[in-house]
Amino acid sequence: MKIVAPAGSIERFHAAIKAGADEIYMGLKGFGARRNAVNLTLEEYKEALDYAHARGVKVFLTLNTIMMDVEIEAIAINLRELYKHGLDAVIVQDFGLAEFIKVNFPDLELHGSTQMTVANHIEANYLKSIGFERVVLPRELTFEEIKEIREKSNIELEIFVSGALCISYSGNCYMSSFIGGRSGNRGMCAQPCRKKYTCDGNDEGYTLSPKDQLYGYDEIQKLKEIGIDSIKLEGRMKEPNYVFQTVNYYKELINGNNIEEKSSQIFNRGYSTGYFYKDRKDIMNKSFASHLGKNLGELNGKELKLKERIILGDGVTFLSKDYEKIGGTYINKIDTRFERNKREANAGETLVLKDIPKETKYVYRNYSKEISDFIESKMKITDKKHVIDIEFKGKIGEKAKIIVSTLNNKFELIKVSLESQGIIEQAKNKG
């Protein structure tokens, strides 16, 4: 099972590859469903293709919005350049664009975007019949629904396992378009679902704001068992540290290592397993809709009983009873009830805070120095290598043989065999 990682900028691109991503999806400036991401120029994209292919990583271009005729003409010029440079696939929502690519770039793989909302095997098989190689299923499907599609179709299936959830069907929401003329299907969603609303004039909160999705070990093993081809991570607008940590986390889960996730220490507006299970009571976060971090504990006056470890350099934010930000700082001094000038404090200890806003109800950590330092140091020394398999065959009375195999930059299998001049003999001396 492969990991498809996001790259909204060249920094995120390098972070994803260094963490072990197998495939990258990213856009060109002015196109795709994340127009507010930095995205890459044509020349940057070509350089990224070379960098990725040298490390055995595929690159997919995101053209996953509804296209105007004039836009298809404009993208054709850029697409022709990327096609000649070895682009691996294009992710599309628009059937007109898909037909255009199929006719003009017949060797280029087509992937159906999650915004196509292909939610059953009949639709998946139809995409396969008209030339699509892969489809990204909607986030709204349960595991049982995903499993049924896998059993009844042979198209490659890609599943989102982390990131923001849409209050509508995988981006097919017209709320932003109606309110402000910014359509999510044109890559310009203003995210009105993240605003505060009042229900019946009384109950005020972020009624339409879902928690982010984050599958864990159990969910990944279930997807792996039924033969899902790729898992997809959201995050073209998030920081490189988040991309690196999240890719690395899922790499460990795929390899069977049930490790603790740390992505929530970098970006956190609440997490759930989304729609994976039928019971999904915990999917919404009505308290806040932006990144606040992790709740550090229970505040009583100026004393905070910690439920998380903190160290010097951590960043904290102070929140009112309504989760409104009323201040923040970096921790440059740690005093507990019994000790002063510590370098760290552990869960269970009581932290004594001095200069905090009067209306503070909650204290959240929104920056973990320990995790950020670890990721940044690891990114400096880590680089993905091209995988080379070496097989040795040897038998007494026969020539020894070494078989070396790898993929070239076009992902074609290359094998080279070498034989010894003499035959293998039984050892005459022990030791």
351 pLDDT more than 50: yes
Q: What's the pLDDT at 410?
A: 61
Whole-model pTM: value is: 0.86
Task: Determine the average pLDDT of the residues in 406-420.
Answer: 77
Residue 414: count other Cβ atoms within 10 Å of its Cβ: 11
Q: With 70 as the cut, is the pLDDT of residue 163 above it?
A: yes
**Cα–Cα distance for residue pair 355/68, rounded to 1 Å:** 55
Q: For residue 150, which amino acid is it?
A: R
Mean pLDDT value across the chain: 90
Banded pLDDT at 424 (limits 50, 70, 90) = confident
341-368 mean pLDDT: 94
Q: What pLDDT, on the 0 to 100 scale, is given for residue 354?
A: 86
Give the three-class secondary structure for 58: strand
What is the distance between the alpha carbons of residues 112 and 414, in angstroms, rounded to a whole number?
A: 30
Task: Determine the distance from the C-alpha atom of residue 238 to the mean position of all C-alpha atoms in its chain, rounded to a whole number.
Answer: 9
Task: Return the minimum-mean-pLDDT range out of 134-143, 146-155, 329-338, 413-422.
Answer: 413-422
**Cα separation of 190 and 180, whole Å?**
8
pLDDT on residue 232: 97
- Interval 207-259: pLDDT, tens: 899 999 999 999 999 999 999 999 999 988 889 999 999 999 999 999 999 99
431: CB partners within 8 A, 6+ apart: none
pLDDT beyond 70 at 36: no
In order of 71, 86, 186, the CA distances from 77 in angstroms are 10, 15, 20
Listed residue (230, 67, 66) closest to 137, CA to CA: 230
The length of the chain is 431
pLDDT at 431: 58
pLDDT category, 177, cuts 50, 70, 90?
Answer: confident
Radius of gyration of the CA atoms of the chain, in A:
25
Mean pLDDT of 340-344: 93
**Which residues of the chain does CATH 2.40.30 include?**
294-381
* C-alpha 126, offset from chain centre: 27
d(CA 428, CA 231): 54
**pLDDT per residue as tens digits for the range 64-118:** 888 888 888 888 889 999 999 999 999 999 999 999 999 999 999 999 999 899 9
What local confidence, expressed as pLDDT, does residue 409 receive? Answer: 60
More confident: 64 or 17: 17
Residue 30: pLDDT band with limits 50, 70, 90: low
Determine the pLDDT at residue 33: 46
Between 240-254 and 217-225, two packed helices, what is the crossing angle to 10 degrees? 60
**Each residue's pLDDT tens digit, 247-274:** 999 999 999 999 999 999 999 999 999 9
Percent of the chain with pLDDT over 70: 95
Check if the beta carbon of residue 246 is closer than 8 Å to that of residue 235: yes
pLDDT at 418: 87
How distant, in Å, are the alpha carbons of 175, 232, 296, 406 from that of 250?
A: 33, 10, 26, 24
Structure tokens at 243: 């991309």
Residues 360, 326: contact at Cβ < 8 Å? yes
What whole-number percentage of the chain has pLDDT above 90?
A: 66
**Is 384 within 8 Å of 55 (Cβ atoms)?**
yes
Judged by DSSP in three states, 355 sits in coil
> What is the third-level CATH fold of 2-272?
TIM Barrel (3.20.20)
- The beta strands (E) that lie in 208-348 are given as 212-214, 230-233, 271-272, 294-295, 297-300, 303-306, 310-311, 315-319, 325-330, 344-345
- Architecture label for domain 294-381: Beta Barrel (2.40)
| 118-147 pLDDT tens trace | 999 999 999 999 999 999 999 999 999 999
Which burial class, exposed, middle or buried, applies to 318 when counting CB atoms under 10 A from its CB (0-12, 13-18, 19+)?
Answer: buried
Weakest mean pLDDT among 127-136, 182-191, 327-336: 182-191
Comma-separated ranges of CATH 3.20.20.70 domains in the chain: 2-272
